[in-house]
Amino acid sequence: MGTRHYRRKTSHSEHGPGDGGRTGSWRVERPVFDRNLCIPCKRNKEACFICWLFCPEIVISRTIPPTVDLEYCKGCGICAEECPTKAITMVDEAKFAEEDKE
């Protein structure tokens, strides 16, 4: 390293996503939504969003239908456990291995 482009002389961090890398790679099981059971999907209006509230990683969108950012979802399963209608199932990532390759 011949030249320095260091902005400052201190540990001065600026914010951005994915400090921990693509944390989706930590996931063992993937949350899969059943739109026939999901309350906002069924009513087609803003409702419930318990999965959004309790998601520790902020990867579930507050939308109809709710979507999961799989790049960062760690697969904790809190959304599945807290869903009042059991609309979310945690599915083994191995099942998606082929699908993801495509």
Partner 1 sequence: MQQAKTTILSLPTGEFVHPGTRACTGCGLSIAYRVGLKALGPDTMLIVPPSCLTVLQGLFPVASTKLPCLNVTFASTAAAATGILATLKAQGNTHTTVAAWAGDGGTSDIGLQALSGAAERGDNFIYFCYDNEGYMNTGVQRSGTTPIGAITANTPFKGKLQQKKDVPAIMAAHHLSYVAACSAAYPLDLYDKILKCRDLPGTKYFHIHIPCPPGWGYDPRYGIKIGRLAVETGYYDLYEVVNGEFRLTAASEKLVEKRKLVPVREYFRSQSRFKVLTEEQIADIQKQIDDKWEGYYKKSD
Partner 2 sequence: MHIIEDGNAAAALGVRLCRPQVIAAYPITPQTPVTEKLSEYVEEGSLSAQYIPVESEHSALAVCIAASSAGARVFTATSANGLLYMHEQVQWAAGARLPIVMCVVNRAVGAPWNIWNDQQDSISQRDTGWIQMYCADHQQILDTVIKAYWLAEKVSIPIMVCYDGYILSHTFMPFDLPEAGKVDAFLPPFQPDYALNPREPANLNTVTLPDVRVDVHGELAHGYMEIRYLLQEDLRLALAAAAEMERRFAGVFGRTADPYLEPYRCDDADFVAVGLGSLTYQLRVSVDALRAEGIRVGVMGVRFYRPFPDEAIANALKGKKSVIVFEKALSYGYEGALASDLKSALYEYLGGTGSLPTVQNFIAGIGGREIHTQELTDTLRAATQARVSKEPVWIGLKL
CB 43 within 8 A of CB 30: no
101 is a site residue for partner 1 (CB under 8 A): no
Nearest to partner 1 of 22, 95 (CB atom): 22
Q: Which residues contact 18 (CB under 8 A, 6 or more apart)?
A: 71, 72
Q: How many CB atoms lie within 10 A of CB 31?
A: 25
Q: How far is the CB of 85 from partner 1 (least distance, A)?
A: 15
Q: How far is the CB of 2 from partner 1 (least distance, A)?
A: 20
x-marked contacts with partner 2 along 13-52 as a string, rule CB under 8 A: xxxx------------------------------------
